[in-house]
Chains A and B, each alone.
Chain A
Amino acid sequence: MKNYDIVIIGGGPAGLAAAISARESKIESILILERDRELGGILNQCIHNGFGLHTFQEELTGPEYADRFICQVEEKNIAYKLNTIVLDITSEKVITAMNREEGLFQTQAKAVILAMGCRERPRGALNIPGYRPAGIYSAGTAQRLVNMEGCLPGREVVILGSGDIGLIMARRLTLEGAKVQAVAELMPYSGGLKRNIVQCLNDYDIPLKLSHTVIDIQGKKRVEGVTLAAVDAQGKPIPGTEEHYACDTLLLSVGLIPENELSRGMGVELNSVTSGPKVDESLETSLEGVFACGNVLHVHDLVDFVSAESAAAGRNAAAYVKGELPGRASVKKLFLRHGEGVRYTVPETICPERMDEELTVRFRVSRVYQSCYISAYFDHERIRHKKRQIMAPGEMEDIKLTKEELLKYPDRKQITIMIEEG
Chain B
Amino acid sequence: MYDIIIIGAGVSGAAAARELSRYQAKICVLEKEEDVCCGTSKANSAIVHAGYDAAAGSLKAKLNVRGNELMGRLSEELDFPFQRIGSLVLCFQEADLPKLQALYQRGIENGVPKLRILDREETLRLEPNLSEDTFASLYAPTAGIVCPFELNLALAENAYANGTKFQFHTEVQSIERLEKGYLLHTSRGELRTRYVVNAAGLYGDEIHNMVSQKKLKLTARRGEYCLLDKTAGTHVRRTIFPLPDKMGKGILVTPTVHGNLLLGPTAVNTEDKEGVNTTLEGLALVSERAARSVKNLPVRQVITSFAGLRAHEEGDDFIIEEVSDAKGFFDCIGIESPGIASCPAIGERVAALLQKEMDLKKKDHFISARKGRLNPNALSFAERNALIRKQPAYGNIICRCEMISEGEILEAVRRPLGAKSLDGVKRRTRSGMGRCQGGFCSPKVMEILAREQQTGLQEITKSGGSSKLLAGTNKDAF
Where the two chains meet, the residues of A that have a C-beta atom closer than 8 Å to any C-beta of B are 35, 83, 85, 87, 98-104, 119-120, 122-125, 127, 129-135, 138, 140-141, 144-146, 149-155, 176-178, 215-218, 220-222, 237, 248-249
Contacts and interface: CB of A to CB of B under 8 A. Distances in A.
A220 B307 CA distance: 13
B304 A123 contact: yes
Contacts of B437: 122-124
B469 A120 contact: no
Interface stretch (B87-95, B174-182, B309-317, B391-399): B391-399
Given A134-B461, A141-B439, A151-B457, A129 B395 contact: no
A119 B274 contact: no
B454 interface: no
A131 B272 CA distance: 13
A249 B471 contact: yes
7 tightest A-B CB contacts, nearest first = A124-B304, A177-B477, A122-B437, A134-B462, A100-B392, A103-B385, A103-B388
A145 B472 CA distance: 11
A222 B305 CA distance: 18
A15 to B, nearest CB: 16
Nearest to A179: B477
A363 to B, nearest CB: 23
A178 B471 CA distance: 10
Nearest to B385: A103
Interface string B454-478: 0001100111011111111111111
B473 A221 contact: no
Contacts of A221: 462-463, 465-467
A133 B467 contact: yes
Nearest to A172: B474
A337 B277 CA distance: 45
A222 B466 contact: yes
Contacts of B462: 133-134, 221
B471 A248 contact: yes
A251 to B, nearest CB: 12
B385 A134 contact: no
Given A132-B306, A216-B279, 11 more contacts: A98-B388, A100-B388, A102-B395, A103-B385, A119-B436, A124-B227, A129-B280, A153-B469, A155-B471, A177-B476, A218-B277
Contacts of A100: 388, 392-393, 395-396
A141 B283 contact: no
A152 B436 contact: no
Interface string B275-313: 011111011000000000000000000111110000000
B349 interface: no
B468 A134 contact: yes
Interface in B309-327: none
B302 A127 contact: yes
Contacts of A134: 422, 461-463, 467-469
Given A83-B396, A103-B384, A138 B477 contact: no
B305 A124 contact: yes
B381 to A, nearest CB: 6
Nearest to B43: A132
A152 B385 contact: no
B442 interface: yes
User: How big is chain B's contact interface, by range?
Assistant: 35 or more
A129 B397 contact: no
B383 to A, nearest CB: 10
Nearest to B441: A141
Contacts, number: 142
Contacts of A135: 469
A247 B266 CA distance: 29
A265 to B, nearest CB: 11
Contacts of B469: 134-135, 153
B241 to A, nearest CB: 23
A134 B421 CA distance: 11
Given A145-B470, A149-B457, A176-B474, A119 B385 contact: no
A351 B186 CA distance: 76
B140 to A, nearest CB: 30
B443 interface: yes
A421 B31 CA distance: 67
B302 A125 contact: yes
B458 A35 contact: no
Contact of B439 (A131, A140, A155, A249): A140
A103 B472 CA distance: 37
B400 A101 contact: no
Interface in B409-455: 422, 435-440, 442-443
A122 B304 contact: yes
A48 to B, nearest CB: 14
17 contacts: A83-B396, A104-B381, A104-B384, A120-B436, A122-B435, A124-B227, A124-B303, A124-B437, A127-B305, A134-B463, A134-B469, A138-B439, A149-B457, A151-B457, A152-B472, A153-B469, A218-B277
Most buried by A among B395, B403, B422: B395
Nearest to B382: A104
A141 B443 contact: yes
Contact of A155 (B381, B436, B477): B477
B226 A127 contact: yes
Nearest to B406: A100
B436 A130 contact: no
Contacts of B440: 119, 141
A177 B474 contact: yes
Contacts of A124: 227, 302-305, 437
A98 B443 contact: no
B389 interface: yes
Most buried by B among A102, A141, A248: A141
Contacts of A131: 276-277
A129 B466 contact: no
Nearest to A124: B304
Nearest to B478: A177
Contact of A125 (B303, B385, B392, B470): B303
Contact of A146 (B278, B388, B463, B474): B474
A12 B274 CA distance: 44
Contacts of B397: 35, 85, 98
A129 B277 contact: yes
A119 B389 contact: no
Given A152-B474, A152-B476, A122 B395 contact: no
Contact of B475 (A127, A133, A177): A177
Given A101-B395, A123-B304, A134-B462, A129 B477 contact: no
Contacts of B400: 35, 85
Most buried by B among A83, A150, A220: A220
A122 B303 contact: yes
A155 B473 CA distance: 10
A28 to B, nearest CB: 28
Contacts of B396: 83, 99-100
A135 B471 CA distance: 9
A153 B305 contact: no
Nearest to A99: B395
A220 B462 CA distance: 11
B398 to A, nearest CB: 10
B310 to A, nearest CB: 18
A150 B472 CA distance: 9
A140 B403 CA distance: 20
Most buried by A among B388, B437, B477: B437
Given A85-B397, A152-B471, A152-B476, A129 B279 contact: yes
Given A103-B384, A119-B440, A124-B227, A130 B475 contact: no
B443 A144 contact: yes
Given A103-B389, A141-B443, A151 B473 contact: yes
A285 B188 CA distance: 62
Nearest to A96: B381
A36 B371 CA distance: 32
A178 B439 CA distance: 21
